[in-house]
Structure 1
Amino acid sequence: MPLSKKELLEQANKACKNTLMETLNIEVIDYGENFLVARMPVTPRVHQPDGVLHGGAIAALAESVGSFASHIFIDTEKFFVRGIEITANHLKSIKEGFVYAKATFIHKGRTTQLLDIRVTDEANNLISVCRLSTISLPKKQ
C-alpha cells in the first residue's frame, strides 16, 4: 500500500536526521505529481559575514529539494539518486524569515532528470533560480 502524503513527508524529514539538511533546518513541506517544496529558516546560522543569506546555503537547499524530488519518483529498491550538476543565480538577498524552494521537473527521464528550482521568500519574492541535473543509478545486487 502506498504511503499517504503525510507519511511520505514525515519519512522524508526523518531521513534528514544527522545530515546537512538537519544542520540547515531544511524541512520538506509539500509535493505533487511534478514538484516538491522545502523550506529553510534564514537565521545567522546560514548568513554570510555581512548578515544576509549565504548563496551556498541556497545551493544546498536547492540540491536537497531537487534530489528529494528525483528520489520520490523512482523505485528506491532498485535505484539511488545523485546530483550531477547544479547552477544558482541569486537575484535578491534576505536577512530573516524563511525561504521556500520549489523543485519542478523539466525532464523526468529513466536515467537523468532536470529540475527547475525557484527559491522565494515568505512574500513570494524570487530570491534565486537554480537548475539541478540528477542521475538515477542502479543499486548493486
Structure 2
Amino acid sequence: MKEHVTKRFNEFIEKATEKDMEVLAAIFEGLQAEGNAKSPYVNRLFHFEREIKDNSITMTAPIAPITYNSLGIAHGGVIATLIDTAIGTLANVTVSSEGNAAVTTDISVRYLKAAKGGTLTCQGTILHKGKKTMILEGRVYTEEGVLCAHSTANFFIIPRP
C-alpha cells in the first residue's frame, strides 16, 4: 500500500499547480497538527477548532482553497459539514456522561449569504433534549460577523457502542 501511495503522490507532485500544492500543504498541516491524533479526519482536513462551554459550542474553520466551490467562495457542503460537526459534537458531549452517543437523523441548512473572508464560525446550541432525541441549532458567521447560514438538526440518542 505504501508503495502505491508513494507512486501516486510523486505523480501528483510532478503535475501539481501552485494551488494544488497549497491545498496539499494544508492537508499535511491538519494531519500532523499536535493534539489532532484523536480528532476525526474531517476535523483535521478542514482545520476545525472548537470550544465548548455552558451547553454551547463554537467551532471555527478557515476559508481556504480546500473549502472553495467553483465560484471561489466557501462550498455549501463544507458549511453543512461544519454545522453538523459542531452541533453533533455538542450533542455527543452532552449525552456522553449518560453512557450514550448522538447521531444526526436529519439536518436542514439555510444559506443566507456567500461565505467569504478568512474564517467561518459556527455557534451551536441545544434547543431540546429528551430521553431519545435532541434538537440543536447552528449558526455560521463570516469573519466580519455576517450570518451566512442557519441550521436545525435532530439527533437520536443511542447507547454508546
Say whether the fold is shared (TM-score over 0.5).
yes
- Cα–Cα, structure 1 residues 139 and 72, in superposed 2: closer, same or farther, change >3 Å? closer
The aligned counterpart of 1:15 is 38
| Selected match of 2:89 from 68, 83, 91 | 68
The aligned counterpart of 1:5 is none
The aligned counterpart of 1:48 is 69
Distance, in Å, in 1 between the alignment partners of 2:109 and 2:100 is: 27
| Selected match of 1:24 from 46, 49, 52 | 46
| Selected match of 2:103 from 82, 89, 96 | 82
Distance, in Å, in 1 between the alignment partners of 2:97 and 2:38 is: 13
Query: Deviation of residue 94 (structure 1)?
Result: 2.3
Query: Deviation of residue 90 (structure 1)?
Result: 0.6
Deviations 1:28-73 (A, max 9, x none): 1x22222111001001110101101100000000000011101111
CA contact (8 A) 2:60 2:121 kept: yes
The aligned counterpart of 1:136 is 157
- Structure 2 runs not aligned, ≥5 long: 1-33
Distance, in Å, in 2 between the alignment partners of 1:125 and 1:69 is: 23
- Structure 1 runs not aligned, ≥5 long: 1-9
Distance, in Å, in 2 between the alignment partners of 1:14 and 1:132 is: 28
| Selected match of 2:124 from 90, 100, 103 | 103
Moved over 6 A (4+): none
Query: Deviation of residue 74 (structure 1)?
Result: 1.2
* SS of alignment partner, residue 145 of structure 2: coil
Q: Which amino acid aligns with 2:118?
A: G
Distance, in Å, in 2 between the alignment partners of 1:14 and 1:135 is: 27
Give the superposed CA RMSD.
Answer: 2.0
Q: Which amino acid aligns with 2:39?
A: C
Structure (1 or 2) with the greater strand fraction:
1
How many residue pairs get matched?
128
Structure (1 or 2) with the greater helix fraction:
2
85-94 or 54-63, which deviates more: 85-94
Larger Rg: 2
CA contact (8 A) 2:46 2:61 kept: yes
Which structure 2 residues correspond to residues 29-40 of structure 1 after superposition, within 5 A?
30-40=51-61
Distance, in Å, in 2 between the alignment partners of 1:109 and 1:49 is: 41
